[in-house]
A = this chain, B = another copy of it.
């Protein structure tokens, strides 16, 4: 591998001049520029970004933390972040936490070591104070996540409002007995909580019942969804919900699949609403009514915010593009 020194020798100049050329320094005479350029090409020279990083403390890599990349929500997020990063000549280092604090700490250490110049956390496991303390080593942005206090810059959507609107949509369609699925325990924090607030507020305002056995907690997979369907079908006919809001398309698909399999009709016997607008939801026999998250905008805004902070600049997040949208299809 050719080094800057080789280039300098070949061009009969000092390394300093070559370095200046590399960094677009003003005031280099045109002929020397040409000599340097020629030498570089002849030697097939590529500057070592490792050396540059050690010396100048300026890297061009950012970290992305997700819980699992195979979840389409995250892969679309990563897609958006990678695109925006690339546009600004940054590379991305990805780490999956699998809900494990240890990986998160590893990533934070990479920030401390200056391997990454900044970090976008699309998933947070650890203690907010601890995480916030790492900001000393480089900027951190929370993407679609929130800590109780404003310790870390955040890019989020208004999930409460979205669910509130979705409930009003169901109510306006005449549904009166609305069941609710959550991934959490109902009482917990995070977007689970904001969604629940939207649900509760809407039902209260519309004076619709919130019944204990229409609430399903800790449901995550399509398998869980199938079980929810079973539970609903085991309820006495008059006591059954006529619609169900789910916290994810996977769960919604699980419920729908089981209903259809048992020869019930959707939405006639049970309206189903998903969350996420995953790629295949429009391809189902009964296309799924769901809530689309502005994934691309979440990714690009987070990245823009982070890059601004890396350059000590400011960036005003564009909330207008961060709206959730109700996707009305056939299932509800």
> Which B residues lie within 8 Å of A75 (CB)?
69-70, 72, 75
Quick check: A46 and B79 within 8 Å, CB to CB?
no
> Which B residues lie within 8 Å of A113 (CB)?
46-50
A86 on the interface (CB 8 Å rule)? yes
Quick check: A91 and B91 within 8 Å, CB to CB?
no
* Interface residue range, chain A: 35 or more
CA distance A114 to B76 in the complex (A): 29
Q: Chain B: which residue is nearest A295 at the CB level?
A: B70
- Nearest CB of B to A299, in Å: 11
A82 on the interface (CB 8 Å rule)? yes
Q: Which of A44-86 contact B (CB under 8 A)?
A: 46-51, 53-54, 59, 61, 68-70, 72, 75-76, 78-79, 82-83, 86
- Nearest CB of B to A62, in Å: 11
CA distance A264 to B282 in the complex (A): 19
Contacting residue for A46 out of B93, B112, B253, B254, CB 8 A: B112
Residues of A within 8 A of B (CB): 1, 46-51, 53-54, 59, 61, 68-70, 72, 75-76, 78-79, 82-83, 86, 91-96, 103, 109-110, 112-115, 137, 222, 253-254, 256-257, 260, 278, 280, 283-285
